[in-house]
Structure 1
């Protein structure tokens, strides 16, 4: 490993630590009060960083509860580009999206984040920004992977239906009366797309 690689790895670890510190601070404050009554400045004070640093990672305080942010754009696009070449475009995108959700669920604060999302459905309105970020990242990754470019209609379609799968899964998960595994709900959404939207077996 070169010195440049080591430096890049260290920077990425520091970014992950800072991102997680902000998430943890936000979750604790949101749980104590409510997302509406907590300010970005309070989150930053709790995490020991400046508001300027906060906005390097998130566009809003609500985004701290969501798995896809502006800060993760290049990571998602890069992971799509790096998937095995034999995978079909939708297969590659599905793997990346499912891995991202699985990583979010495995995080130390996921249970608290999930409870806050369930208790504060208005937070998901900010998810529109996250959805746009995810869409653009998938388009960029697929555009390069396929050689078609990010504005190709097929590339845009695969990205759009994948983002829709995430949107549907999150809303089904949040609205379910019983506790469900969001990763399983997401898998069911992608399964439906891969079946060509034919009804699932009874």
Structure 2
């Protein structure tokens, strides 16, 4: 938890626990029976809640399968907006995402979610939409931070790179390494793209062509 943030109260912790139980039940049932065959009452029975409670948290039976993505998008964007104004853009993005990671859920949820997406590729389109939405939110927050239009090149590019770094970190992550392992991969991802993505991540012996970075202008903001 970031210094200065209050601990969640009992009601908030109970709501988070219920949401996690619904998410876990939805993923487990979708793996067992296939996403299209699972019903809301079945998810509720597995989680021990009523359908009315379910719809207090989610609008459809598919939403729990992507609850992480929606939460990550909102939380990372909110934390980016709270980063110090004198922090450079990429550092602010890195720190906002690192602050968000502890809330993504227990490591035991992720192998099941990864297996579900692999087994049912029809779900990948929804995941891609969620990632694109996250890029849009981050680009908007960056544009406001830099006082440029959201469609400007730099916010779009920086947001896309940050989301790609997050996605690559999750793909490479071994959940057995816990949150610290995921955080280390995210740091490494940011290090790699800020260094210009050297061949092999700077670990191989391939030929590298490097130039000194040129300064470009994005609106009224000079971007190194």
Q: CA deviation at 1:183?
A: 3.1
Distance 1:28 1:118, change over 3 A: closer
Q: Secondary structure at the match of 1:83?
A: coil
- Of stretches 19-28 and 155-164 in structure 1, the one that deviates more from structure 2 is 19-28
Please say if residues 44 and 54 of structure 1, whose CA atoms lie closer than 8 Å, have aligned partners that are also in contact. no
Gaps of 5+ in 2: 1-8, 204-224
Please list, as runs of the form range in 1=range in 2, the aligned pairs for 1:46-195 lying within 5 A after superposition.
46=47, 47-50=49-52, 52-56=55-59, 60-64=63-67, 67-69=68-70, 73-104=73-104, 107-108=105-106, 110-118=107-115, 120-121=117-118, 122=121, 123-173=123-173, 181-195=181-195
- Size of the alignment, in residue pairs? 187
**Structure 1 runs, 4 residues or longer, greater than 6 Å off:** 9-14
Distance in 1, Cα, partners of 2:59 & 2:10: 17
Please list every run of 5 or more consecutive structure 1 residues that lacks an aligned counterpart in the other structure: 1-8
Contact 1:26 1:43 in 2 (8 A): yes
Residues 173 and 182 in structure 1, CA contact (< 8 A), matched pair in contact too: yes
Mark the CA change 1:86 to 1:173 in structure 2 (over 3 Å): closer, same or farther: same
More helix by share: 1
Give me the whole-angstrom Cα distance separating, in 1, the residues matched to 2:36 and 2:136.
28
How far, CA to CA, are the matches of 1:113 and 1:62 in structure 2?
11
Q: In the alignment, is the contact (CA less than 8 A) between 1:35 and 1:62 conserved in 2?
A: no
Q: Displacement of 1:80 after TM fit?
A: 0.7
Deviations 1:102-135 (A, max 9, x none): 321xx34x31332341364235443212202211
User: What corresponds to 1:6 in structure 2?
Assistant: none
RMSD of aligned Cα (Å) = 3.6
TM-score by length of 1: 0.70
Max radius of gyration: which structure? 2
The answer to which structure, 1 or 2, has the higher relative contact order (CA under 8 A, 6+ apart) is: 1
1-structure distance, mates of 2:28, 2:91: 36
